[in-house]
Amino acid sequence: MPCGSGLWAAWTDMGNKGILNAFGAYLLWGLVPIYWKFLKHVPAIQLIGHRIVWSFLLLAAFLLVTRKWRELGVLASDRKIIGIYVVAALLCGFNWFIYVWAVNAGFIVEASLGYFITPLFSVLLGVVFLRERLRLLQSLSVGLAGAGVIYLAFAVGRPPWIALGLAFTFGLYGLAKKKAPLSSTYGLTIESGILFLPGLLFLVCQDWIGQGAFLHTGLRSDVLMAGAGLITTVPLVLFTSAAQQIPLTTVGLMQYITPTCQLLLGVLVYGEAFSRTQALGFGFVWAALAVFCTEALLSNSRGTHGGHGKKVRVVRA
């Protein structure tokens, strides 16, 4: 079968290191709500500030140690490149804020829905902005996901704004990154660098007016806030390594580890409601993903690929 043979080929031909790296990245992203729950006493906007500041400092230190800072400086002098990463940085910042707020406000289940529908939303963006053509089963999967979202909107009495916000911002972020010519390490360094001064200034102002959490809420909180840089960069490094070691089809199928972990955490650990109504709405989305993954595997086995976007030379760190 295509699925089994594809995974077996990835395992035997490229080794299990890539699969382990991908699994580690997606598992860490799936379990990250636990981390943010330990900081639920800190306002979400401050947590995003710390995530930006500590991520940039960690990435900058890495580039200094590896002596690649000067090369990044040359690349960052291109206004076109900077323009792309300004857009990406803003979308990433909004996505982080929505997610952290949702976790600590008790909406982990709805946040997981956002990441279940993100791949399908990305396909739709490819049609709208990149003029990619949907094959029949791809159209069916997007339609099923749309039906699930519409059903939840009517059944619950409101659209799933958190899920839609996460899918919208992350989908557009992916679209912006598709046009970006730099590697993940360089790209994230520039993105966090763009947001670094505003983030640092905000945190300083919060401390100045007596509302800052850092150094005022205990040593454990301080360590966790500073550790936001690690939980941001470590999964990214694992993911980047995995993408270079195993087929993208395998990477894509494994990405659903993340929202599955989030859903289980929300329901089983933090006691969030998961009614029959929600289960039916999620069922539409899961059916859509089943069709989408099956189509991707069949298409890959036939050697057909959708989309005709221009290839972009990637400068790797």
308 in a structural domain? no
pTM of the model: 0.82
31 in a structural domain? yes
CB 189 within 8 A of CB 71: no
271 in a structural domain? yes
Task: Say yes or no to pLDDT of 306 above 70.
Answer: no
315 in a structural domain? no
Residue 54: other Cβ atoms inside 10 A: 21
307 in a structural domain? no
The closest alpha carbon to 158, from 281, 287, 268, 264, belongs to: 281
Residue 310 burial class via C-beta count within 10 angstroms: exposed 0-12, middle 13-18, buried 19 and up: exposed
Integer Cα distance of 309 and 311 in angstroms? 6
pLDDT score of 54: 95
314 in a structural domain? no
Integer Cα distance of 171 and 118 in angstroms? 6
Q: What is the mean pLDDT of the chain?
A: 83
Which residue would you say has higher pLDDT here, 62 or 303? Answer: 62
pLDDT score of 304: 47
pLDDT score of 64: 86
Residue-number span of the structural domain to which 211 is assigned: 2-302
317 in a structural domain? no
pLDDT digits (tens, 9 = 90+) for 180-190: 777 777 888 88
The residue-averaged pLDDT of 126-144 equals 82
312 in a structural domain? no
CB 299 within 8 A of CB 5: no
Task: Mean pLDDT check: name the lowest of 8-12, 15-19, 73-77.
Answer: 8-12
Winning range, highest mean pLDDT, from 70-79, 111-120, 288-297: 111-120
pLDDT score of 300: 67
Which residue would you say has higher pLDDT here, 130 or 190? Answer: 190
pLDDT digits (tens, 9 = 90+) for 19-43: 888 899 899 999 999 999 999 999 9
Number of domains in the chain: 1
